[in-house]
């Protein structure tokens, strides 16, 4: 199979994935709005609803980033730039594109970007891992109350 044929196959896969992500995100956001409109029973129910809302919100965020990357890949296809590394302008190997269809960097440039901390594909927000409001929060298992009932 030629590179052009493989890219056309990837285009079809990207379009299907884009459409699926759009449907999922529309459903996720709709269900989040429904959940917020419902009255909760007690404090435990409210806490569980909050945890579920947070999980759903984080999943929607991940799916939204994937949708943006997928749409970017389709745009690069329309512009004739798909499969060309944004860092060094060489063709990204088909094996990499098959594994990660929205890749914009070859492996060498991706590694360099990660080494320099400039990776656009990571999108990690490490600040969310820290509780910025409390710097003396050393917590051990002994500090937690666990209910195994």
Per-residue DSSP letter, 42: S
Fold of 3-124: 1.20.120
Entry field: residues in the chain: 149
**Least confident range of 27-31, 92-96, 99-103, 131-135:** 131-135
pTM of the model: 0.60
Which residue, among 78, 122, 116, has the nearest Cα to 100 in the 3D structure? 122
Q: What is the pLDDT of residues 28-84, one digit of tens each?
A: 655 555 555 555 567 777 777 777 777 777 888 888 899 999 999 999 999 999 999
Give the pLDDT confidence score for residue 127 in this predicted structure.
39
Domain spans in the chain, listed from the N-terminal domain onward: 3-124
> Residues 70, 61: contact at Cβ < 8 Å?
no
**Helix, strand, coil shares, percent, the chain, to 5:** 65, 0, 35
> Do the beta carbons of residue 114 and residue 121 sit within 8 Å?
no
Dump pLDDT digits (tens) for 104-127.
999 999 999 999 886 554 444 443
Residues 6+ apart with CB under 8 A from 96: 103, 106, 107
Q: Can you tell me whether residue 35 is helix, strand or coil?
A: helix
The pLDDT assigned to 70 comes to 94
Helix or strand run (H / E) with residue 45: helix 43-79
């Amino acid at each position: 199979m030629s590179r052009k044929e493989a890219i056309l196959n990837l285009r079809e896969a990207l379009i299907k994935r884009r459409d699926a992500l759009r449907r999922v995100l529309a459903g996720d956001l709709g269900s989040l709005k429904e959940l917020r409109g419902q009255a909760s029973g007690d404090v435990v129910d409210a806490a569980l609803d909050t945890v579920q809302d947070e999980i759903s919100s984080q999943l929607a965020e991940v799916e939204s980033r994937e949708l943006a990357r997928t749409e970017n890949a389709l745009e690069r296809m329309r512009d004739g730039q798909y499969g060309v590394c944004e860092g060094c302008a060489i063709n990204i190997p088909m094996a990499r594109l098959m594994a990660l269809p929205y890749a914009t960097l070859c492996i060498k440039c991706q590694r360099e970007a990660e080494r320099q901390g400039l990776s656009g594909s990571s999108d990690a927000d490490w600040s969310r891992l820290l509780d910025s409001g409390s710097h003396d929060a050393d917590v051990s298992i002994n500090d937690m109350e666990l209910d195994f009932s």
